[in-house]
Amino acid sequence: MKAAVVDRLGGTPQYRDVGEPPVHDGEVRVTVAAVAVENVDRAIVAGTHYTAAEFQSALPAIPCFDGIGHLPDGSLVGFGGLKPPQGALAEHVIVPATHTVPIPDGIEPPTAAALSSAISAMCMRTAAGLTAGETVLIQGATGVAGRLAVQIARLLGAGRIVATGRDRAALDEVAALGADAVIDTAVDEDRLVRAFRENAGQGYDVVVDYLWGRPAELLTRALVPDSFALAKPTRLVQIGESAGPAVRLTADALRTSGLEIYGAARNAAAAMPAAYRQVVDWVRDGALTIPVTTMPLSLVAEAWNRTDLRGRRLVVVPG
C-alpha cells in the first residue's frame, strides 16, 4: 500500500510503498478516508513534542495517530490509538476493533477528521464551567482551534467574547466570526497589559489559552489588581502552547488576582460525550462551520509544508 513515511526526525513525510500490516485477532482493517494534520503531529515529527521519542525509536514511521475511514462493511468510523511505526497517513490502517467509533450520519469524512479541535474547544464549558452571559477571552483566536472557539463561545451563550492574535487582517476575520473585541498581542509589554485591562468589561470569567508563553504571562500581570481589592475569579483553561511551553507565574498573580488554572482535560472523560454530540448537532445544523483544506495523500510532502492555510485545517484524503 501507499503511505506517507518519515525517515528522520525533522524530515518531511514522503509518499511511497510500504508493506501492508497483518490483521490479528480483535483487529480490523480500515480504509482511510480523511486524516487531519494538527500541530501535535508536526511537533512529533519535528521531535519537539514530549512523545517524540517513541516516534523516533520507530523510524522510519508513518505520522498521525487518528483519522476517519471505512470498515470492510462500508460503515464510516473514527479510528485512533495507532502506535509508531504505524500511522494514519496511509491507504489502510489496522487497529483494535475497540479503537473505532461510528461517525454520525450527515458528517463528511474531512469534517469528521477535523472535529476534534471543535470538541476540545468545548473545554470552556467542560473544564472551566462557562455559563451563559459570561465574558470569555480566547488567546490565539486566529488559529484553526481559536476560530472554532470563538464560534463555540457564541453558541454557548457567552455574553462578551474577546479574541487575541498578532495579525490585523486575521483579527478582522475573527471579529466577523463573533468576537466583540480583538487584541493585537504583537505590541510591547505595557501596551498589551493595558489592552487586556481595557477590553475586560466586567472582568474575564473564562480564558481559553491556546498560546501560553508571553501572552499568558502578560495576561496574569493584567489580572493582578492595583489595590487591595478582591478580584473576581478568572478560570483559565490551558489547551495549547503556540507562543511557548512555559510562563513565569508571579506569586501575586495567584494570591490576589482570582486566577484559577485548569487543564483542558479536566472533567473530559465524564463531559466529553455530551460535548461531542453537541458539536455534531451544530455542524449538522450549519450553526458551526469547520473550515478544512483537503489534499491527496500522494501530495503529502507539499501538503505538510504548507503555511498558507489561514485558519483552515489541513486534511489529507485518498488519492
Ligand X SMILES: NC(=O)c1ccc[n+]([C@@H]2O[C@H](COP(=O)([O-])OP(=O)(O)OC[C@H]3O[C@@H](n4cnc5c(N)ncnc54)[C@H](OP(=O)(O)O)[C@@H]3O)[C@@H](O)[C@H]2O)c1
Residues binding ligand X (CB under 6 A): 38-40, 117, 120, 140, 142-146, 165-167, 170, 185, 210-211, 215, 239-243, 264
Pick the closer one to ligand X by CB: 18 or 295: 295
Pick the closer one to ligand X by CB: 28 or 149: 149
Number of residues assigned to the chain: 319
Classify residue 227 as exposed, middle or buried by CB count within 10 Å of its CB (0-12, 13-18, 19+): exposed
Residue 41 CB, shortest distance to ligand X, in Å, is 9
Pick the closer one to ligand X by CB: 91 or 167: 167
Pick the closer one to ligand X by CB: 62 or 171: 171
Residue 255 CB, shortest distance to ligand X, in Å, is 27
Pick the closer one to ligand X by CB: 110 or 140: 140
Classify residue 138 as exposed, middle or buried by CB count within 10 Å of its CB (0-12, 13-18, 19+): buried
Residue 295 CB, shortest distance to ligand X, in Å, is 16
Pick the closer one to ligand X by CB: 250 or 293: 293
Pick the closer one to ligand X by CB: 63 or 143: 143
Residue 136 CB, shortest distance to ligand X, in Å, is 16
Q: Which residues does residue 268 pair with via DSSP β-bridges, in sequence order?
A: none
Residue 193 CB, shortest distance to ligand X, in Å, is 15
Residue 240 CB, shortest distance to ligand X, in Å, is 2
Query: How many Cβ atoms sit within 10 Å of the Cβ of residue 3?
Result: 28
Residue 265 CB, shortest distance to ligand X, in Å, is 8
